[in-house]
Amino acid sequence: MENATTKIKTTYREALKQGLREALQNDERVFLMGEDVGRYGGAFAVSKGLLQEFGEERIMDTPLSEAGFVGAGIGAAIAGMRPIVEVMTVNFSLLAFDQIVNNAATLLHMSGGQVHVPVVIRIGCGIGRQLAAQHSHSWEPFYAHVPGLIVLSAGTHEDARNMLHAALQSPDPVILFEYTFLLNMEKEIPAEATPVTITKAKVRREGKDISIITYGAAVYKCLEAATELAKIGIEAEVVDLRVLRPIDETTFLASVSKTHRALIVEEAWRSVSISAEVSARIMEKVFYDLDAPVQRLCGAEVPIPYANHLEEAAIPQVNDIVNTVKKMIHHD
Amino acid sequence: MSQSATIAKPMEIKKALLLLYQMLLIRRFEEKAAEQYTKSKIRGFLHLYTGEEAVAVGVIQAITEEDNVLCTYREHGHALARGIDADVIMAEMYGKMEGCSLGRGGSMHLFDVSKKFYGGNAIVSGHLPLAVGMALASKKQKKENITVCFFGEGAAAEGEFHEAMNLAALWKVPLLFVCENNLYAMGTAIRHSHSETHIEKKGAAYGIEAEAVDGMDLMAVIDAANTATQKVRSSGKPYLLVCNTYRFKAHSMFDAELYRAKKEVDEWKKRDPIPTFKNYLLKQKWITPAEITAFEQKIETKVQLAVDFAEAGTWEPIAELTKFTYSENKMQ
Per residue in A15-44, pLDDT (tens digit) is: 999 999 999 999 999 999 999 999 999 999
Domain with residues A7-190, CATH architecture: 3-Layer(aba) Sandwich (3.40)
Instruction: Give strand pairing partners of B18.
Output: none
Q: Boundaries of CATH 3.40.50.970 in chain A?
A: 7-190
Residues B140, A108: C-beta atoms closer than 8 Å: no
Return the sign of the alpha-carbon dihedral for residues A143, A144, A147, A148.
positive
Put simply, the chain B residues between 86 and 115 with a CB less than 8 A from any chain A CB are 99-105, 109, 111-113
Question: Measured between alpha carbons, how far is residue B59 from residues A61, A146, A222, B107, B302 in Å?
Answer: 33, 36, 60, 21, 24
Put simply, the chain B residues between 283 and 322 with a CB less than 8 A from any chain A CB are 322
Question: Measured between alpha carbons, how far is residue A286 from residues A205, A206, A255 in Å?
Answer: 21, 19, 10
Q: Is the ipTM of this complex over 0.90?
A: yes
Percent of chain B at pLDDT > 70 equals 96
Cβ–Cβ contact B159 with A under 8 A = yes
* Residue pair B120/B155 in contact by the 8 Å Cβ criterion: no
Structural domain including B189 reads: 10-315
Residues B167, A112: C-beta atoms closer than 8 Å: no
Give residue A1's pLDDT: 44
How would residue B330 be classed by pLDDT, with cut points 50, 70 and 90?
low
How would residue B4 be classed by pLDDT, with cut points 50, 70 and 90?
very low
Residues on chain A touching B130 (C-beta within 8 angstroms): 71-72, 74-75, 78, 103
Give residue B12's pLDDT: 87
Residue B2 forms part of a structural domain: no
How would residue B329 be classed by pLDDT, with cut points 50, 70 and 90?
confident
Cβ–Cβ contact B166 with A under 8 A = yes
Give residue B10's pLDDT: 52
Residues B167, A65: C-beta atoms closer than 8 Å: yes
A309 is catalytic: no
Q: Which residue in the set B104, B132, B141 is minimally distant from A80, CB to CB?
A: B141
Residues B243-262 pLDDT 10s = 999 999 999 888 889 999 99
Q: Which residue in the set B103, B130, B332 is minimally distant from A78, CB to CB?
A: B130
The catalytic residue among A86, A135, A165, A311 is A135
Residue B77: Cβ within 10 Å count = 27
Which of B183, B192, B194, B318 minimizes the C-alpha distance to B248? B183
Q: What burial letters (b/e) apply to A274-288, b meaning 16+ CB within 10 Å?
A: bbbbbbeebeeebee
The predicted model gives A170-187 an average pLDDT of 97
Q: Is the pLDDT score of A124 beyond 80?
A: yes
How distant is the Cα of A236 from the closest Cα of chain B, in angstroms?
A: 34
Residue B173 forms part of a structural domain: yes
Between A and B, how many residue pairs show a Cβ–Cβ distance under 8 A?
Answer: 156
Q: Which residue in the set B140, B325, B329 is minimally distant from A171, CB to CB?
A: B329
A312 is catalytic: no
Residue B328 forms part of a structural domain: no
Instruction: Identify the residue with better confidence: B86 or B9.
Output: B86
Residues on chain B touching A109 (C-beta within 8 angstroms): 104, 324-325
How distant is the Cα of B55 from the closest Cα of chain A, in angstroms?
A: 24
- Mean of per-residue pLDDT scores for chain A: 96
Here the CATH number for the domain that contains residue B59 is 3.40.50.970
Residue B261 forms part of a structural domain: yes
Give residue B3's pLDDT: 46
Distance, CA of B123 to CA of A61 (rounded, Å): 27
Give residue B254's pLDDT: 84
How distant is the Cα of B238 from the closest Cα of chain A, in angstroms?
A: 14
Which of A297, A293, A292 minimizes the C-alpha distance to A318? A297
Residue B327 forms part of a structural domain: no
How distant is the Cα of B135 from the closest Cα of chain A, in angstroms?
A: 8
State whether residue B332 is helix, strand or coil.
coil
The predicted model gives A203-230 an average pLDDT of 98
Residue B177 forms part of a structural domain: yes
How distant is the Cα of A222 from the closest Cα of chain B, in angstroms?
A: 32
Strands (E), chain B: 68-71, 111-112, 117-120, 147-152, 175-181, 184-185, 188-189, 209-214, 239-244
Give residue A325's pLDDT: 98
Give residue B278's pLDDT: 97
Residues A114, B111: C-beta atoms closer than 8 Å: yes
Cβ–Cβ contact B136 with A under 8 A = yes
Instruction: Give strand pairing partners of A237.
Output: A211
A202 Ramachandran zone, left/alpha/beta (phi>0; psi -120 to 50): beta
Cβ–Cβ contact B118 with A under 8 A = yes
How many domains is chain B partitioned into structurally?
Answer: 1
Question: Measured between alpha carbons, how far is residue A78 from residues A71, A107, A176, A316 in Å?
Answer: 11, 10, 19, 40
Residues on chain B touching A70 (C-beta within 8 angstroms): 129
H or E stretch including B231? helix B218-235
Cβ-count burial of A319 within 10 angstroms (0-12 exposed, 13-18 middle, 19+ buried)? exposed
DSSP 8-state class, residue B116: T
User: Which CATH number fits the domain A202-328, given the four candidates 2.60.40.3680, 3.40.50.300, 3.40.50.920, 3.40.1670.10?
Assistant: 3.40.50.920
Residues B118-167 pLDDT 10s = 999 999 999 999 999 999 999 999 999 999 999 999 999 999 999 999 99
Residues on chain A touching B325 (C-beta within 8 angstroms): 108-109, 147-148
Give residue A4's pLDDT: 55
Kindly identify which residue of chain B lies nearest to residue A146, measuring between CA atoms: B325
Q: Which residue in the set A62, A63, A76 is minimally distant from B134, CB to CB?
A: A76
Cα-only R_g, chain B: 19
Residues B195-250 pLDDT 10s = 999 999 999 999 999 999 999 999 999 999 999 999 999 999 999 999 999 999 99
Residues B77-109 pLDDT 10s = 999 999 999 999 999 999 999 999 999 999 999
The catalytic residue among A22, A35, A66, A267 is A66
Residue B52 forms part of a structural domain: yes
Residues B133, A76: C-beta atoms closer than 8 Å: yes
Put simply, the chain B residues between 31 and 50 with a CB less than 8 A from any chain A CB are none
Which residue in B68, B138, B326, B327 has the most chain A C-beta atoms within 10 A of its own C-beta, making it the best mutation to test that interface?
A: B326
Residues A242-295 pLDDT 10s = 999 999 999 999 999 999 999 999 999 999 999 999 999 999 999 999 999 999
Residue B121 forms part of a structural domain: yes
- Mean of per-residue pLDDT scores for chain B: 95
How distant is the Cα of A72 from the closest Cα of chain B, in angstroms?
A: 4
Return the sign of the alpha-carbon dihedral for residues B84, A78, A153, A85.
negative
Distance, CA of B214 to CA of B222 (rounded, Å): 11
Output helix, strand, coil percentages for chain B, rounded to the nearest 5: 50, 10, 40
Residue A246, preceding peptide bond in cis (omega within 30° of 0):
yes
Residues B129, A172: C-beta atoms closer than 8 Å: no
What pTM was computed for the model? Answer: 0.95
Residues on chain A touching B170 (C-beta within 8 angstroms): 63
Which of A264, A261, A265, A274 minimizes the C-alpha distance to A235? A261
Cβ–Cβ contact B160 with A under 8 A = yes
Q: At B53, phi and psi to the nearest 5?
A: -55, -35
How would residue B7 be classed by pLDDT, with cut points 50, 70 and 90?
low
